[in-house]
Amino acid sequence: MTAGAADTADIVVVGAGHNGLVCASYLARAGLDVVVLEQSDRPGGALWWTDWQGHQLERGAVEHSAVLTTGIVEDLDLARHGLEYRTRSVAAIHLFGDGTRIVIEETAEATAASIGELSVADGRAWLELAEIGALLLRAYALASDGWIPPPQVATAFARAVAGPRSRRLTDLTRMSAAELAQRWFEHPVVRSMVMFRAAFSSVAPWTPGSAAAFLLTVAGHGRRIGRPVGGSRAFVEALTASAGAAGATVRCGVTVDAVRRAGGSWRVHTSGDKTVIARRGVVSAMAPRPFLLDVLDGALAPRSRRRVERVQEVVDNVSQLTLAAAIDDPLCLPSFGRTELDAGAMWLLSEPSSATEAYSAALLGQLSATPATLVTFPSVADPGAAPAGGATMWADSFTARQLHGRPWSQRRDEASEAVWRTIDACLPGVRGHVRHEVLTTPDDLTGKNGAENAGNHVAPIPGQLLGARPAHGFGNHRSPIDGIYLTGAGTHPGGGVSGLPGRLCARAVLDDLGLGRTRRQRGADVVRQTSSSFRAARAVGR
């Protein structure tokens, strides 16, 4: 991280979450003078960790797989800046209090066999959905390569070209996970797994569109899965070093209060009354709603402002919390006889009904007694995360954003107790070896990165996806105001450690400044995108 008071820059990036850093890196590599301003005392945003007696305790994201398939790690030369990944092929194991297990294996066939031990029909349904999910994944990739259409346009295109078969896919993407579970699967354990999976995007399983999150899970077979050696710290440090090497400046402990037009440039006002002049534009890498409504200081036309005011950040009051722990004996950790499973993600439900109970409790502003919880032990794949003879745990539970009655600050012990209840039911024997724990509530997460929805910035619901993310008129990483750009989890393609919003935003800035693709290349890209989409849609129709 470099310090120093730059008063002017070509581009100011607001927020040094991983997307802000990725965007800054691409812009600096294209020759622009870039300054990133970050309110926290270090970059990373939702990639957040705490050190305790040699243990690196992760408080935000842990799985960094999404970025592995993008080429960003290679583009930004992150290996040269010390980044190394440990990958595995098996995605996850689902565990229940009665000992039931489902393994999400490398291939759809192997996962179907695992599900088939509970229900042969459900195994077959998994295979069928994996095929449909692969089409969705392909359509999503095509829709992200060039101009990003709003959801209605993408749907209308698919229907016009692919005909009735596309209806099955588009209907599924608009369904709730609960409906998909009920229509496609018969076994209660499998149904509960579907509903739990939908929660990964912090939406309740009855929310329309939540089935899409599950479809992307079934489509994910065979992709690279992994975490950086050195955890989130290593990723953030490599990104920061890469941005610095390209010439960008990252300044931490600087909150951007207001962005105002000043002739042809922008004045970026920060805490401490310092101002940075952005000569060619400003990129917001913070959550879009507070940036556009508060920081942009009345610059939006009333119609645009109303659109942003309607953006839903949190739906059904669903949020998440993490519980990280330092453990004194690695032998107490679960062992499945397969290293990949021991090191991977464990999705825990005390009972199948815990999946829906957790979201009902969130909706009512209550704490679930046995929250649906995702657990992993980062030190298993990355022994450097703990001192010799120790281990680390990371648990992520889906919970209420706002509690009814007493606030989060008064219910920390109760919340942590509930998470342990789930862990004890599915992974007995771990808790007795905890030496230190750190609970990170939804309030803590919002306090850290300024986003009401810390993981996604904007809820991933049908009207807020693709070219309509975060809102109509604000897609394709541009705002209606020239020179103001948007990146981060609240822009396409959304939350997760992918870096894609950062790269796509950089491309928009460079194109507009005449430093990216020429007009002719952009035209050729649109033709290529349209013809690939046409071919893909025809393939669905056959």
Ligand X SMILES: Cc1cc2nc3c(=O)[nH]c(=O)nc-3n(C[C@H](O)[C@H](O)[C@H](O)COP(=O)(O)OP(=O)(O)OC[C@H]3O[C@@H](n4cnc5c(N)ncnc54)[C@H](O)[C@@H]3O)c2cc1C
49/185 with CB nearer ligand X:
49
Would strands 249-252 and 34-38 be described as parallel, antiparallel, or unpaired?
A: parallel
Q: What is the distance between the alpha carbons of residues 489 and 144, in angstroms, rounded to a whole number? A: 15
Q: What is the distance between the alpha carbons of residues 465 and 235, in angstroms, rounded to a whole number? A: 27
Neighbouring residues of 187: CB distance < 8 A, sequence distance ≥ 6: 115, 118, 119, 122
Site for ligand X in 41-60 (CB under 6 A): 45-47, 60
Site string for ligand X, 497-526 (x = CB under 6 A): x-----------------------------
Answer yes or no: are the C-beta atoms of 459 and 352 closer than 8 Å: no
250, containing H or E segment: strand 249-252
Site string for ligand X, 203-242 (x = CB under 6 A): ----------------------------------------
Give the total residue count for the chain: 542
55/289 with CB nearer ligand X:
289
Among residues 437, 466, 459, which one has the least CA distance to residue 152? Answer: 466
User: Hey, is 408 helix, strand or coil?
Assistant: helix
Q: Find the binder of ligand X among 39, 56, 370, 529 (CB under 6 A).
A: 39
Return the range that interacts with ligand X (CB under 6 A); candidates 62-70, 119-127, 215-223, 399-407.
Answer: 62-70
Site for ligand X in 276-295 (CB under 6 A): 285-286, 295
Question: Binders of ligand X: how many residues, by CB under 6 A?
Answer: 39
Answer yes or no: are the C-beta atoms of 231 and 58 closer than 8 Å: yes
Count CB neighbours of 417 within 10 A. Answer: 12
Query: Min. distance of Cβ 456 from ligand X in angstroms?
Result: 6
Query: Min. distance of Cβ 484 from ligand X in angstroms?
Result: 14
Residue 450 in contact with ligand X, rule: CB under 6 A: yes
Q: Find the binder of ligand X among 34, 85, 495, 537 (CB under 6 A).
A: 495
State phi, psi for 463 to the nearest 5 degrees: -75, -5
122/452 with CB nearer ligand X:
452
Q: What is the distance between the alpha carbons of residues 167 and 188, in angstroms, rounded to a whole number? A: 27
Return the range that interacts with ligand X (CB under 6 A); candidates 12-20, 213-221, 328-336, 464-472.
Answer: 12-20
Query: Min. distance of Cβ 540 from ligand X in angstroms?
Result: 28
Among residues 450, 463, 528, 460, which one has the least CA distance to residue 493? Answer: 460
Q: What is the distance between the alpha carbons of residues 405 and 415, in angstroms, rounded to a whole number? A: 14
Residue 256 in contact with ligand X, rule: CB under 6 A: yes
Site string for ligand X, 382-401 (x = CB under 6 A): --------------x-----
Q: What is the distance between the alpha carbons of residues 23 and 243, in angstroms, rounded to a whole number? A: 9
57/62 with CB nearer ligand X:
62
Among residues 28, 16, 392, which one has the least CA distance to residue 231? Answer: 392
Residue 451 in contact with ligand X, rule: CB under 6 A: yes
Count CB neighbours of 297 within 10 A. Answer: 13
27/125 with CB nearer ligand X:
27
38/511 with CB nearer ligand X:
38
Site string for ligand X, 308-347 (x = CB under 6 A): ------------x-x-------------------------
Query: Min. distance of Cβ 509 from ligand X in angstroms?
Result: 16
Q: Find the binder of ligand X among 9, 10, 13, 15 (CB under 6 A).
A: 15
97, 386, 456, 73 alpha-carbon torsion, rounded to 10° = -120
Q: What is the distance between the alpha carbons of residues 458 and 437, in angstroms, rounded to a whole number? A: 29
Residue 371 in contact with ligand X, rule: CB under 6 A: no
- Paired strand residues for 287: none
Query: Min. distance of Cβ 45 from ligand X in angstroms?
Result: 2
59, containing H or E segment: none
Residue 455 in contact with ligand X, rule: CB under 6 A: yes
Return the range that interacts with ligand X (CB under 6 A); candidates 94-102, 304-312, 329-337, 453-461.
Answer: 453-461
Q: What is the distance between the alpha carbons of residues 464 and 287, in angstroms, rounded to a whole number? A: 14
Give the residues lining the site for ligand X (CB under 6 A): 14-20, 37-40, 45-47, 60-63, 66, 255-256, 285-286, 295, 320, 322, 396, 445, 449-451, 454-456, 488-489, 495-497
